[in-house]
Structure 1
Amino acid sequence: MIKRIFGAALAATVIALPAVAEYPDKDIKLIVPYGAGGGTDTAARLIQPHLEKVLGSNLIVVNMPGAGGTIGATNFAQTKADGYTLAFLPAGTAVVQPHLRKLQYNESSFEPVCRTIQEPVAIMVGPESEYTTLDKLMAAAKAGKVSAAGSAPGSFPHIGAVLVQKNYDVKIKYVPHEGGAKSARSVLGGKVDMLVDNIGLAAKFGIKALAVLSDKRAKSMPDVPTIDELGGPPIRLSIWWGLFAPAGTSAAVLDKLASACAEAGTSSAYISSVKAANKTPNFLGAGKFKALFLEQYKANATLFQEIGLKKK
């Protein structure tokens, strides 16, 4: 009797194995919640061919732009968790927007698979600014003389300005702009004093980065010190992009995706392509990426509550 039960169980296991081993056996849809040609779309298409090579299946990019990425993310959160619909999300859509809008997704809606790109965030001023050091800038902010450019409230530049204000106990006037380019131009022209945003804007627009909000210098601009090196508070902020599966995806499929992402995201070919696109490759595996995702989601909820930024 025992032998028959064991034999049946073993047979069931053997029968079940091919279903896992065969994944994926058809095309995979990759939802990108922004339009073609934008930053998120570019980042997704950089990893796409390398994942296809490892997985042995096509990844079909489907752009679903609108409402700060929330239209695509909402659609993704409601999809079948079978591994055949994934999403490539930026940090703002994943860990910021749910605190600003009443949405049909939250931190429990997604399974982080891997982070592929992370852009350092820096405190920047104009090339002719009188605030040539971070100390001078913060001294002026202490006296209430500093303004900061950035996108709409709740954006990463806004979060950055709030974190600087909070950690340095200073007063900064926030001036919303329509995107990073217009913000950088305002700083370049001296209309606004500072900008806390992607450090790549410094080289692109000719503005000066005073400090990186990280414990490590940016590889793209290694001469810019970290805020820690300058004796400032350990403010941490970065802009990232990553691959997600829907909540409820089986462990076997998640493991397969995580393994594929690790191989693709650390390959020399992928890293070279990212650098050629003037982006910063920074792979993070499933476990650490999930911890980062949840940590930032919780931190933003607390921060927005403290500053009175409510959902619309």
Structure 2
Amino acid sequence: MRKLALAAAFAATLISGPAFAEYPEKTVNLILPFNAGGESDVSARFQQPYFEKITGQQMVIQYMAGAGGAQAWSQLNSMEGDGYTLMGINLPHTVLQPMEKDVGYETDDLVAVNYFHYTPNALFVPKDSEFQNLQQLIDYAKANPGVVTFSGSGSNSANQIGQTQFDELAGITTTYIPFSGTGPAVTAILGSQVTAGFNYVTSGVNNGDGMRMLAVASEERVKAFPDVPTFKELGFDLVGGAYRGIAVPKSTPEDVRKKLSDIISKINQNPEFIKKMEDAGFVLTNVPYGKMADFVAQKKKEYRAIGEKLGIANR
């Protein structure tokens, strides 16, 4: 029995150690929990050639859309943890969804190895709007409580969080109108169906001719829009948006998690990749696996507080 136990321990060592020394050794599959064409897809497509250049292996992108990402995230830990099945992961989605109801996973069930960018919230108005700057919009909202309408990409999204925080910081009351995604939320702004919109700054890249950005919720001005002030510059401590990263099944070995995180961080340092992302309105971050626990804990605390204000802290 002792010999069998030693043999099993030796086999386990081979599986978790040298077997992954040259990871990856074959094609890696990246599952995105949303449809093609969104911000998650665009950034993954930007990553793809650099992943292949660094590793010598292909990264194949697949889609598993549904329930705002929950359909995929609820299945992640049932997938094989061999390092060859990856999944896109988003904040605040993976904090707010399980807060509101049973979605088949809990925030702490998910193993993120790297958050590599976020798309800041931005406040847009139609191009022909009477509001030329943020203060004009605030003054109008104060004089007309509830009249100003904001479109956004769904309920309990980063966009609604932005609107909720803005109302509190500016001392105003506005009305949030959720749409089924970024596309229809932007269409509502372009068609002047709403007063304004909280959307991701990336929306301004392809729709800049039809709407005007009054402020962006980033620490510094976004390079794609150098003339647009940040909320901080205008006196409002509002920074946030949707963070995107890479997750793996919980059974994935620690050394593979770290190796994958290092690969993603290395891509983030590539000058060509940086330019592509910044030109598209993305803001690069570098939250590697070693810093993930603290980062997620901080975001959970932040989003849970906001979730209570949104009235979704039911669990």
Residue 225 of structure 2 aligns to which amino acid in structure 1?
M
Calculate percent identity across the aligned residue pairs. Answer: 29
Structure 1 residues 56 and 96, CA gap change in structure 2 (3 angstroms): farther
- Give, in whole Å, the separation in 2 of the partners of 1:296 and 1:201: 24
1:135 aligned residue: 135
- 5 Å-filtered alignment, 1:120-269, equals 120-143=120-143, 144=145, 145-205=147-207, 206-232=210-236, 234-269=237-272
- Give, in whole Å, the separation in 2 of the partners of 1:97 and 1:14: 38
Residue 269 of structure 2 aligns to which amino acid in structure 1?
T
Partners of 1:266 and 1:283 within 8 A in 2:
no
Partners of 2:163 and 2:176 within 8 A in 1:
yes
- Give, in whole Å, the separation in 2 of the partners of 1:211 and 1:273: 22
- Give, in whole Å, the separation in 1 of the partners of 2:16 and 2:114: 27
Partners of 2:154 and 2:160 within 8 A in 1:
yes
Residue 49 of structure 1 aligns to which amino acid in structure 2?
P
Displacement of 1:191 after TM fit?
3.0
- Give, in whole Å, the separation in 2 of the partners of 1:191 and 1:65: 28
What's the Cα RMSD here? 2.9
Structure 1 residues 94 and 46, CA gap change in structure 2 (3 angstroms): farther
Displacement of 1:106 after TM fit?
2.2
Partners of 1:115 and 1:282 within 8 A in 2:
no
1:271 aligned residue: 274
- 5 Å-filtered alignment, 1:10-49, equals 18-49=18-49
Structure 1 residues 180 and 45, CA gap change in structure 2 (3 angstroms): closer
1:50 aligned residue: 50
Structure 1 residues 217 and 292, CA gap change in structure 2 (3 angstroms): farther
Partners of 2:223 and 2:281 within 8 A in 1:
no
Q: What does the per-residue CA deviation read over 1:36-69, in whole Å, with 9 as the maximum and x for residues that have no partner?
A: 3443223223212322332333333332111111
Structure 1 residues 231 and 35, CA gap change in structure 2 (3 angstroms): closer
Partners of 2:65 and 2:71 within 8 A in 1:
yes
Partners of 1:112 and 1:290 within 8 A in 2:
no
Partners of 1:79 and 1:85 within 8 A in 2:
yes
* Structure 2 residue ranges without an equivalent (≥5): 1-11
Residue 43 of structure 2 aligns to which amino acid in structure 1?
A
Displacement of 1:96 after TM fit?
3.4
- Give, in whole Å, the separation in 2 of the partners of 1:62 and 1:153: 25
Partners of 1:201 and 1:207 within 8 A in 2:
no
Match status 1:61 vs 2:71: no
Displacement of 1:223 after TM fit?
0.6
Displacement of 1:194 after TM fit?
1.6
- Give, in whole Å, the separation in 2 of the partners of 1:58 and 1:37: 20
SS at match of 1:108: helix
2:114 aligned residue: 114
Partners of 1:100 and 1:154 within 8 A in 2:
no
Residue 106 of structure 1 aligns to which amino acid in structure 2?
E
1:105 aligned residue: 105
Match status 1:95 vs 2:95: yes
- Give, in whole Å, the separation in 2 of the partners of 1:217 and 1:281: 10
Partners of 1:114 and 1:258 within 8 A in 2:
yes
Question: Number of residue pairs matched?
Answer: 300
Residue 204 of structure 1 aligns to which amino acid in structure 2?
N
> How high is the TM-score relative to the length of structure 2?
0.83
- Give, in whole Å, the separation in 2 of the partners of 1:128 and 1:288: 45
Displacement of 1:142 after TM fit?
2.1
Residue 113 of structure 2 aligns to which amino acid in structure 1?
V
Q: Which moved more, 1:294-303 or 1:257-266?
A: 294-303
SS at match of 1:140: helix
Q: Which moved more, 1:297-306 or 1:210-219?
A: 297-306
Q: What does the per-residue CA deviation read over 1:175-194, in whole Å, with 9 as the maximum and x for residues that have no partner?
A: 23333333333333433212
Displacement of 1:130 after TM fit?
2.4
* Structure 1 residue ranges without an equivalent (≥5): 1-11
- Give, in whole Å, the separation in 2 of the partners of 1:37 and 1:20: 33
